[in-house]
Amino acid sequence: MKPRRSILSVPGHVAKMHGKAARSPVDVVMLDLEDSVPLDAKEAARAQVVESLLSPDWGEKTVTVRINSLDTPYGYRDLLAVAEAAGHRLNAVVIPKVNHPGDVHFADRLLDGIEMNTGIASRIGIEASIETAAGLERVTEIAGASDRLLTLVFGIADYSASVGARLVSVSGHGEKEEELYPGHRWHFALSRMVMAAKAHGLMAIDAPYGNFKDAEGLQRSAVMAGALGCDGKWAIHPGQIETLNRVFSPSQEDIDRAVKVLAAFEAGEALGRGAVAVDGRMVDQATVRLARQLCEQARHLSMI
């Protein structure tokens, strides 16, 4: 799967932002029909997203669309209209507030029919947002609900509301957390989602960082997410893209270490050894798997 280090959320009804996002260095452009679109602009946003999907030259850019949640009168219409009109330009649909595997089942079956009817050659993926206590409780079932699933995404603001957590910032998206809690306040929730994602071969994506002017806070939040196993993070401003791409890319030091580990392991394997030593440290199968994953990501990014 192509890297998803950075995912830029762009309001679906603001056409001028779509072309700029397509030309940005972000890995994924997510055209949003949900939270960033006022109720009286939902219909217009849907039409604009279809037009944008069909008109700009997206090149090799990964493009997704976040529909409205399926417990609203807009969600099924978003899925139907966008996938039927522009499914061949769409990599995945993002379903917000997934609380039950049935949400994924519904989208999966509907996409089956749309693809058969329109003759779309490539399958449209699904990305599920885990944004509530109910969703996190059933996250393992959700992660295994469809072979269309590509990622699980943590929704920090709605999750905070669902568990009644304190609001410590204007945006509710992760900043100023250290003033309230002596550690990572969302460590368990994010780790639980990551575990379910990786157990089913999915990517895990962290929530956006709300204060786009706080570069240090974004860096800290992204590094923490990466340490917990996340593959990328949503962005709400183009100024966040560079930091996210850097944090979620392997460093040259990481690549050199992984290459050394794989070379030593292959040499030891040729001699019938199950474990080898590198720089005075034992290397086992688990370390080799980590090294292979890192090298695969580096190849996707043309770093090796």
Distance separating alpha carbons of residues 238 and 23, to the nearest angstrom: 11
Distance separating alpha carbons of residues 260 and 275, to the nearest angstrom: 14
Residue 257 annotated in ligand binding: no
Q: Are 176 and 209 in contact (CB under 8 A)?
A: no
SS3 content of the chain, % helix, strand, coil (to 5): 50, 15, 35
Distance separating alpha carbons of residues 187 and 144, to the nearest angstrom: 22
Residue 158 annotated in ligand binding: yes
Residue 131 annotated in ligand binding: yes
How many Cα atoms occupy the beta-carbon half-sphere of 193 within 13 Å?
Answer: 32
DSSP category for residue 2: -
Q: Are 155 and 130 in contact (CB under 8 A)?
A: yes
What residue type is assigned to position 256 of the chain? D
Distance separating alpha carbons of residues 171 and 173, to the nearest angstrom: 5
Q: Pick out the residues of the known binding site.
A: 66, 131, 158
User: Known binding site for substrate: residues?
Assistant: 66, 131
Output the known binding site for Mg(2+): 131, 158
